[in-house]
Structure 1
Amino acid sequence: MPSQNHNYAVDPKSLPDGVEVIHVNLKDGTCAGLAYPARNIMSVQYHPEASPRPHDSDYAFGEFIELMNRVKVNA
């Protein structure tokens, strides 16, 4: 489980329409990741490259690569 060391969190109720919470911190229930498909945006509020195992967060990087490929094809 990644650490939450930024001392702030996004309030999901404050998000505009179309933005969705895609990751939730299991320790405190705070938002740990967002996606805005209409704008081809995704984010995580942790360090996926610093996970306990070197491949635990491969899915996040895979999703990002897919997103870049979709945008490139549609450009």
Structure 2
Amino acid sequence: MGRMKGAIVVDTARCKGCALCVQACPKAVIAMGKRVNVSGYPYVEVICADECIGCASCGIVCPDGCITVYRKRIDD
């Protein structure tokens, strides 16, 4: 059985910087960024993309649905 590889895409224009996803991520893949979006909110950024397991915890807790999670099985 292979392991899962994940990837997330953040819609930075819609993110309000609540950081619920940062707290929910078990692998510390995302963090609050230093830049702001067009609405003036700081948004989350992917900092360790290789660590993502595709658990979707970040997407589930996002109140604005700004995170899309992709999963792919990697056969060893």
Q: Normalised by the size of structure 1, how large is the TM-score?
A: 0.30
**Structure with bigger RCO (C-alpha 8 Å, 6+ apart):** 2
For the pair shown, the structure with the greater C-alpha radius of gyration is 1
Structure with the bigger percentage of strand: 2
Q: Normalising by structure 2, what TM-score?
A: 0.30
Between Structure 1 and Structure 2, the one with more helix by share is 1
